[in-house]
Structure 1
Amino acid sequence: MNQYEKIYKYTMASLLSLFIGGMFSINLLTPNKSFSDSENRNLEPLPTFSIQNLLDKKFTSHYETYMSDQFAFRDFWISMKSDIDRTIGKKENNGVYIGKNGFLLQKFNKPEDQDVKSKIAAINDFHLANPNVEKHIMLIPTAISILENKLPNFVSHDDELTYIDKVKKSLNTEINFIDVYPTLRSKENEYIYYKTDHHWTTKGAYYAYQELSKNLNFTPTQKESFNIKKITNSFYGSLYSKGGFRHIDPDSIELYEPKEGIKYKVEYVDEDKTSSTLYEMNNIKKKDKYTVFFNGNHPLVKITTENKSGKKIVVVKDSYANALLPFLLPHFSEIQVIDLRYYSDSLQLFIQKNKIDEMLLIYNANTFFEDSSISDLSE
């Protein structure tokens, strides 16, 4: 080995040692964080050491996660990885596609056939056990099925629609299936899905509300009757956090406020709280700004309005419904909102006790096929 090779070798070894030692020192001196704004999740704290945890392999597992979560300049390294991935043409990360014009789209994972059959059977059994309740089901296609013009090249998007169609064809014929795909597809060039989040926008929910009105036999409020208010231009949603792709423009969130509003009361039953608004405006200051609608998800929410019709409806839903529910207020005296992921009581007994004669089950397709609680519907 000549002199120059030795100098190169020792220089590289010294730089590597300096980098490792420097990062080790920085990590020791950097305070731990409890929450990552960019990833919208709690970070792993330093695990407590015990012999039992070590023998159970819990300590090492938690410690590895802790080191990963608390690594110095974590957001910088994630951003760098995102840039490299996009440079080499990578289209998907952690179940999120990077589409055209900076659109992020959630990958659809095929469900197990038995799980699909279990959900359909539960819905049909629930119908037979409650024949006097008029039932409507809306399975909302996600952006991957609607925004074909935003998809990366060579990405298939037919699976989600295929499984939605399976549900439609397998339901009891007395259950009203509301197909919103044609309506949403006809609006694909409008801002109906967020770019960085898995939800639809308020405009997308409004178009679905118009389609819903045809099936629930009420006259929808026209768009001109709303004051459309943009409440933020800096929303980075769930797909931004999950996918790790950076350097993407943020979303905006709009609220459709009726020019002639209807008085109502919102009761968060399990939390024993009451409110005079559907919106938690302080959440605009938080990372998950979509929780401006109802302050997120709750087991049971009761909305009472000044509508004198006496019509009651129970809405069994996921978070997609949160942006649509405000449009229903003028059409019902009482709206009961149940999220089966958090609601542990019997839905059948609840309907009987509250003398409800109409039910709307509304889910986005991804949640419907992934959420096991739907299989417990008839219990």
Structure 2
Amino acid sequence: MKQYEKIYKYTMAGLLSIFIGGMFSINLLTPNKSFSDSENRNLELFPTFSIQNLLDKKFNTNYEKYISDQFAFRDFWISMKSDIDRTIGKKENNGVYIGKNGYLLQKFNKPEDQDVKSNIEALNDFHLANPNVQKYVMLVPTAISILENKLPNYVSHVDEVTYIDKVKKSLNKEINFIDVNPILSSKKNEYIYYKTDHHWTTKGAYYAYLELSKNMNFIPTQKESFNIKNITNSFYGSLYSKAGFRHIEPDSIELYEPKEAIKYKVEYVDENKTSNSLYEMNNIKKKDKYTVFFNGNHPLVKITTENTNAKKLLVVKDSYANALLPFLLSHFSEIHVIDLRYYNDNLNMFIQKNKIEEMLLLYNANTFFEDSSITDLSE
């Protein structure tokens, strides 16, 4: 019996040694990758060695990250872990729930009371500094609030809509708050949020545009007036990258193109570039296909349309606005689009210089409560 135990131990030790030696050899021979498509992020490369980095323990930390990121067959191991997690009933990973029908739902983290207060005060102060500009605020609830029926069983979450309502009630009464929760809730059985990404779909943005038209007093373009074009069926978004869950069906992306074409020019001011399209179609070949809208986020974008007698609009926004902006072209002469996360100039001066008449602040609730740059409105 002892002889068999020895043989077993030696065999297992030998197999383990072969596995470790094999993986070590494969890791040495496998070229490093600088970017992970599935995770949509840059991977850690071999750290620069210096005595100072070694003493500060930075080298060791970065080297561990390097080994983790460059481990051979990394995607295979991540996929295997995903399968195991789902098999044992794991419902959440890295702040993302895996819900019903293949939906990934981003957890809403309870914001600090002071952060909520600071953002509200910034909006109210901005209003007082620009009394002649008609202002509209749209805070979009994310999928976890609208698609609660997709959440895993027995999962409770912080009520995002409660915080949105708190902003609504605390804003200066002359600021128009556009509540899109009712219309989105009424359409929750439609494809209004991506399954693998934190954004709403173009259809979801269109419904919000209809609600916006009621408040801004313009006649919206009806759905029949668009050619709805499916440009991809292989979109894996930010939540897919963040959560690590695999074997999920990809999303599709639609564009709503007016049947009666509108002439316009897009200027990416800080990059000193111009375009005759709102869309960067080459990005459909990339991992982050949502950047088909405006090629992602920019500090300042100016859209000039052929509606020379219409008003000028300023949109202060996060990336949720990118899918809604195309619907606004027929209603304004100029649309200035500012992302405060990247814009460094004084907004009050910008409004005066460009004779802005109306302003829309459009954020998803998660970003609004987490983004400290919103307080820049009051500076």
Q: TM-score range by the shorter chain?
A: over 0.9
Counterpart of 2:243 in structure 1 is 243
Deviation at 1:58, TM superposition (A): 1.4
Name the aligned partner's letter for residue 110 of structure 1.
K
Contact 2:310 2:331 in 1 (8 A): no
Q: Deviations over 1:180-204 (max 9, x none)?
A: 0000000000000000000000000
Matched, 1:187 2:183: no
Name the aligned partner's letter for residue 347 of structure 2.
L
Supply the distance in 2 between the matched residues of 1:161 and 1:154 (Cα, whole angstroms).
20
Written as runs of structure 1 = structure 2, the 5 A alignment for 1:252-331 is: 252-331=252-331
Name the aligned partner's letter for residue 375 of structure 1.
T
Any stretches of 5+ residues in structure 2 without a counterpart?
A: none
Q: Deviations over 1:269-310 (max 9, x none)?
A: 000000000000000000000000000000000000001323
Counterpart of 1:162 in structure 2 is 162
Name the aligned partner's letter for residue 255 of structure 1.
L
Supply the distance in 2 between the matched residues of 1:365 and 1:249 (Cα, whole angstroms).
26
Matched, 1:99 2:99: yes
Supply the distance in 2 between the matched residues of 1:61 and 1:158 (Cα, whole angstroms).
34
Written as runs of structure 1 = structure 2, the 5 A alignment for 1:1-379 is: 2-379=2-379
Q: Deviations over 1:80-139 (max 9, x none)?
A: 010010001000000110000110000101111111111111111111111111110000
Name the aligned partner's letter for residue 165 of structure 1.
D
Q: Deviations over 1:39-64 (max 9, x none)?
A: 00111111110001111221111111
Q: Deviations over 1:315-349 (max 9, x none)?
A: 00000000000000000000000000000011111
Q: How many percent of aligned residue pairs carry the same amino acid?
A: 87
Contact 1:138 1:360 in 2 (8 A): yes
Supply the distance in 1 between the matched residues of 2:130 and 2:320 (Cα, whole angstroms).
25
Supply the distance in 1 between the matched residues of 2:310 and 2:169 (Cα, whole angstroms).
33
Give SS of 2:214's match: helix
Name the aligned partner's letter for residue 266 of structure 1.
V
Task: Output the TM-score relative to the length of structure 2.
Answer: 0.99
Any stretches of 5+ residues in structure 1 without a counterpart?
A: none
Deviation at 1:166, TM superposition (A): 1.0
Task: Output the TM-score relative to the length of structure 1.
Answer: 0.99
Supply the distance in 2 between the matched residues of 1:329 and 1:50 (Cα, whole angstroms).
55
Deviation at 1:18, TM superposition (A): 1.1
Supply the distance in 2 between the matched residues of 1:52 and 1:308 (Cα, whole angstroms).
61
Supply the distance in 2 between the matched residues of 1:255 and 1:159 (Cα, whole angstroms).
31
Contact 1:145 1:158 in 2 (8 A): no
Supply the distance in 1 between the matched residues of 2:105 and 2:124 (Cα, whole angstroms).
31
Deviation at 1:167, TM superposition (A): 0.8
Supply the distance in 2 between the matched residues of 1:166 and 1:309 (Cα, whole angstroms).
37
Q: Deviations over 1:212-245 (max 9, x none)?
A: 0001110000000000000000000000000000
Deviation at 1:157, TM superposition (A): 3.9
Supply the distance in 1 between the matched residues of 2:28 and 2:252 (Cα, whole angstroms).
39
Supply the distance in 1 between the matched residues of 2:158 and 2:212 (Cα, whole angstroms).
24
Name the aligned partner's letter for residue 300 of structure 1.
L
Give SS of 2:294's match: coil
Contact 1:145 1:157 in 2 (8 A): no
Deviation at 1:375, TM superposition (A): 1.4
Contact 1:235 1:250 in 2 (8 A): yes
